[in-house]
């Protein structure tokens, strides 16, 4: 597997004080869709902007397609398609004019007509950017990246603030790009997005990688594939330790009075749980079971939810 993006011991300190990235190693293969997952302020955007050559790192090495930014900046720019977080494109240009403008910066761009077709923007070709909906703007932002005919696509939170339909549309576009052999690096704080889209991902928090692997591997590491969540009367902190002792329980997390148990097999744990509750004389208010998700991985690793601001 060719390596498309590699960084070693990447660090970024702002103003000599704020450590945004604290020693990050990444190796992303050609043709992979790789996700950087983490809460706001985890260092995702700083990392991706360093890899995009828009921000100098404080220390560490970065190689894109085997080249460094210092020596091959122009050549790399030609090979990358970038969609930044929250770029507001000129509102008084039409969709088509915007794409033509971006296309003109590249030596060998794609046909803008085809890109518009692919991004479902043909209908809006002559509309001013200022008149587009959020989803259309986001598709246009990605279109300005695709028109470069890039080898690598960088997407910084491509679906933040979009409605479910627009999100699915963007996911399709990302898969299409990958099917043609493209490499994608995206950041997101949506777990479902990472699970569906990414071949591999790294979860970062406070500028450090706290877990890496395929979505399945990460969930596997959680120890259990199932989550049992319940609420019961007389549920006190002292009880938490006794839940851990139940058969099949890998981890316990209490939040807002709800107890979440990561378990290997639901059928091993639930009868024991019910028996234990009865013994304590408390009655069950609520009980749900579900498949574990990356969100649970994150909660397990940090004790926090991803989307807590």
Partner 1 sequence: MSFDSAVPTMREAKAPTLAPVNGRWAGYVNLLMAREKEMWREPEVIFWVFAFPILLALGLGIAFRNKPAEVHRAAIVAGTGAGRAVELLQASTEKRSVRADVLPEALAFNQFRLGKYDLVVIPQPDGGFAYRYDPARPESVLTRATVNDALQAAAGRKDALPTSEKASSEPGARYIDFLIPGLLGMNLMNSGMWGVGFALVEMRQRKLLKRFVATPMRRSDFLLALTSSRLILMLIELVLLLGFGVLAFQMRVIGSWPSVILISAIGALCFGGLGLLTASRAQKIETISGLINLVMMPMWLFSGVFFSYERFPAIIQPLIKLLPLTALNDALRATILEGATLPAQGSRLLVLLLWGGLSYLLALRWFRWT
Contact positions vs partner 1 (CB under 8 A): 52-55, 74, 77-78, 80, 82, 84, 86-90, 92-93, 97, 100-112, 114, 128, 144, 148-149, 176, 179-181
Contact between residue 264 and residue 223 where contact means Cβ atoms under 8 Å apart: yes
Nearer to partner 1, 93 or 272 (CB): 93
| DSSP classification of residue 266 | H
The least distance separating partner 1 from the CB of residue 51, rounded to whole angstroms, comes to 11
Q: Which two tokens stand for residue 194?
A: 């990472």
Crossing angle (nearest 10°) for helices 237-244 and 266-280: 140
Q: Cβ-count burial of 75 within 10 angstroms (0-12 exposed, 13-18 middle, 19+ buried)?
A: exposed
CB count in 10 Å sphere of residue 83: 22
Given the complex with partner 1, which of 77 and 264 has the nearer CB atom? Answer: 77
CA–CA dist 297, 294 (Å, integer)? 5
Specify the residue, 25 or 78, whose C-beta has the smaller distance to partner 1: 78
| Least distance between partner 1 and beta carbon 177 (Å) | 9
To partner 1, the closest distance from the beta carbon of 90 in angstroms equals: 6
Q: Which is nearer to partner 1, 114 or 236 (CB)?
A: 114
Q: How far is the CB of 96 from partner 1 (least distance, A)?
A: 11
Nearer to partner 1, 97 or 229 (CB): 97
Q: CA 214, 219, 224 angle in degrees (round to 5)? A: 155
Long-range contacts formed by 161-167: CB under 8 A, 24+ apart: 161/134, 162/134, 162/135, 162/138, 163/134, 163/135, 165/135, 166/134, 166/135, 166/138, 166/139, 167/193
Provide the minimum distance between the beta carbon of 287 and partner 1 in the complex, in angstroms, as a whole number: 40
Smallest gap from Cβ 38 to partner 1, in A, equals 21
User: 74 vs 279, which CB is nearer to partner 1?
Assistant: 74
């Amino acid at each position: 597997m060719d390596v498309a993006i590699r960084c070693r011991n990447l660090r970024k300190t702002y103003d000599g004080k704020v450590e945004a990235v604290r020693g990050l190693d990444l190796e992303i293969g050609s043709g992979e869709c790789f996700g950087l997952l983490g809460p706001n302020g985890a260092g995702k955007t700083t990392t991706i902007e360093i890899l995009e050559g828009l921000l100098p790192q404080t220390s560490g090495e970065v190689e894109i397609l085997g080249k460094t930014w210092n020596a091959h900046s122009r050549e790399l720019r030609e090979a990358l398609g970038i969609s930044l977080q929250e770029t507001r494109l000129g509102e008084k240009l039409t969709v088509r004019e915007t794409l033509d403008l971006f296309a003109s910066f590249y030596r060998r761009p794609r046909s803008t007509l085809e890109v518009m077709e692919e991004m479902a923007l043909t209908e809006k070709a002559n509309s001013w950017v200022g008149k587009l909906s959020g989803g259309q703007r986001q598709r246009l932002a990605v279109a300005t990246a695709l028109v470069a005919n890039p080898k690598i696509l960088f997407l910084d939170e491509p679906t933040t603030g979009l409605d479910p339909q627009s999100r699915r549309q963007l996911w399709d576009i990302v898969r299409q790009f990958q099917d043609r052999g493209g490499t994608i690096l995206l950041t997101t704080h949506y777990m479902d997005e990472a699970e569906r889209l990414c071949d591999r991902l790294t979860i970062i928090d406070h500028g450090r990688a706290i877990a890496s692997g395929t979505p399945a591997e990460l969930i596997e590491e959680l120890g259990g594939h199932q989550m049992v969540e319940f609420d019961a009367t007389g549920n006190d902190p002292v009880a938490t330790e006794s839940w851990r002792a139940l058969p099949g329980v890998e981890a316990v997390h209490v939040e807002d009075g709800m107890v979440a148990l990561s378990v290997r097999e639901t059928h091993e744990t639930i009868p024991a749980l019910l028996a234990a509750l009865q013994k304590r004389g408390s009655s069950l208010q609520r009980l749900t079971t579900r498949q574990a998700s990356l969100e649970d991985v994150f909660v397990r690793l940090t004790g926090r939810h991803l989307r807590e601001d």
